[in-house]
Structure 1
């Protein structure tokens, strides 16, 4: 068994697609109309185009808004992405106007930062670092 797809709930799929591709650097994998204006809209890492897909899932279910709001209020990221050089990625994303709630910070075996995806979620990026 392996992970095929995982989701982030987004307030606006078009806005999310722009952010996750133009800012974070993912590439669009699938864009299939489902019902009305909703789509099966996935992105993947350009380093793993046949790897795990990230579904940009509409926040239509009534439980998603309070769930997302509670996570953001507590500063908890919805998910985490790994990067090779967090300082370079932080500089690149900051230059693109991405807002961070936590700058690169050492946290044991990782160095992490937290960003706002503009779609109602906090996203953590991590770099694996050597053990102290």
Structure 2
């Protein structure tokens, strides 16, 4: 068994698509119009094109409990998910230069370094260097 798709709730799929591709560097794998302004948008890591897909899920717009959960995580400062990076300091500098807002600058925590960014779509994302 292996993970092939994971979703992240976004309130504006087109804004999320722009952020995740232009700033975070993901590549579009699928972008299919589902009608009613909804799309099946999946992304993959540039360095792992056949790896797990990230679905930009418009759930908060259609399912109130998803919106409540997303808001609660954001308010509590809890990241929705995490992405691994090779060199956190370099990624922090690159993303900061692109205007990405961080709620936690690179910080050492035992045997890893972490930072937390806002994805402009209602989520906090933790970056981890192992």
Fold conserved between structures, TM > 0.5: yes
Aligned length: 128
Specify the alignment match of 2:92 in structure 1. 90
Specify the alignment match of 1:79 in structure 2. 81
Unaligned runs of 5+ in 1: none
TM superposition outliers: structure 1 runs of 4+ over 3 Å = none
Residue 35 (structure 1) shift: 3.0
Say what the alpha-carbon RMSD is for the aligned residues. Answer: 0.7
> Following superposition of structure 1 onto structure 2, how do residues 28-107 of structure 1 map, counting pairs within 5 Å?
28-58=28-58, 59=60, 60-107=62-109
Specify the alignment match of 1:22 in structure 2. 22
Unaligned runs of 5+ in 2: none
Cα distance in 1 for partners of 2:28, 2:65 equals 27
Specify the alignment match of 2:10 in structure 1. 10
Task: Give the TM-score normalised by structure 2.
Answer: 0.96
Task: Give the TM-score normalised by structure 1.
Answer: 0.95
Cα distance in 2 for partners of 1:70, 1:57 equals 17
Residue 62 (structure 1) shift: 1.0
Tell me the SS of whatever aligns to 1:63.
helix
Cα distance in 2 for partners of 1:123, 1:49 equals 21
